[in-house]
A = this chain, B = another copy of it.
Amino acid sequence: MDKKVKVGVIGATGYAGIELVRILSDHPKAELVGVSSVSFNGKNISRIYPGLRAGFNQTLVEGIEAMPSECDVIFGSLPHGLSEEIGAACMKKGVAFIDLGADFRLEDEEEYIKWYGNKFKDTLLHKQAVYGLCELFREEIRKSRLVANPGCYPTSVALGLYPALKDHLVHREGIIIDSKSGVTGSGRGLTLSTHYPECNEAMSAYKAGAHRHRPEIEQTLSKICGSKVNVTFTPHLIPANRGILSTIYCDKKAEYSQIRRCYERAYENEPFVVLLEEGEYANIKNVRLTNCCHISLHQDEHTQKLIICCAIDNMVKGAAGQAVQNMNIIFGFNETLGLSIIAPAF
């Protein structure tokens, strides 16, 4: 086998980080040469996650400085505010940087300040960043070295709405997004709401109309549309480990059959996007552990609404899987490399 890409993961023991480790350790063209963690510096990663014991043993180091200099690409999986400096360091060294955090996702500094509380430290750096929603922006990604990997909710929404919005087959006003996420979306940090007895047999909305992913959703939809899109977005927490289901409501501007054909065409060559057949419903279990996105379309003949159900695995297509897909694009690999797993039936 020819030369592999050398990869480092910063923040490898968080949930998105460990999912990156799982995927990359089985990637035929990637070699994971460095894993870092502030919390577990110096420990073997398989002590933190015993599921790695049989296949992957590597000592955790701390920070970008400790990453092997041979790295061709660095993945960052960190809380927001920590990736800008790492991105700058990578750019300087000519190393590609794929950021699973939020630092480079919003292009508008005002919005970033409003939702994340910080200014851009280096405006030029932000201009170099490409929003890594692979199916929509793969040409830009191909030429880039700095990728802002999309958020989990925004990925499910953008893929769900893209064909209809692009061809103006639905109204861009009044779009309502009701999303449901598994608990891993909240990360590995301990909170009362993710304590098992509080979270099991429970369900509620949270941050209705006020989640940080809303400006990110609107930024992408506006680009697709060519004009400003405002949405109503309500996330919910459901008692499952993985998966996001976004149920999207919008008003049709075209016949339902025309909309279906538009989706068929838009995604017919996309390896990871599956348009389900009439009467089927997107279900998080059918995309579990995969980089796939399942979309089902439904019309409410009564009210002329189009209902779009879009299911992804929040930790794969919504995080680590799409990050690896971005790496594949950047390095000219087949996009499905290392991501060919079939969803287990249970």
Residues of A at the B interface (CB closer than 8 Å) are 15, 18-19, 21-22, 25-26, 49-56, 174, 176, 178, 180, 182-184, 188, 190-192, 194-206, 208-209, 214, 230-232, 234, 236, 238-243, 245, 247, 249, 271-272, 274, 276, 280-290, 292, 294, 296, 298-303, 305, 307, 309, 311, 315, 340-346
Contact = CB atoms under 8 A, between A and B. Distances in A.
B281 A19 contact: no
Q: List 9 tightest A-B contacts by C-beta distance, closest first.
A: A51-B343, A209-B300, A202-B285, A204-B283, A208-B298, A190-B190, A178-B178, A197-B346, A51-B286
Most buried by B among A196, A201, A231, A340: A196
Given A204-B284, A243-B203, A302-B209, A289 B344 contact: yes
Nearest to A345: B18
A239 B242 CA distance: 12
A54 B307 contact: no
A318 to B, nearest CB: 13
Contact of A346 (B52, B239, B242): B242
Contact of A51 (B214, B242, B345): B345
A114 B55 CA distance: 40
Contacts of A178: 178, 247, 249
Contacts of A343: 51-52
A54 B271 contact: yes
A249 B232 contact: yes
A305 B210 CA distance: 12
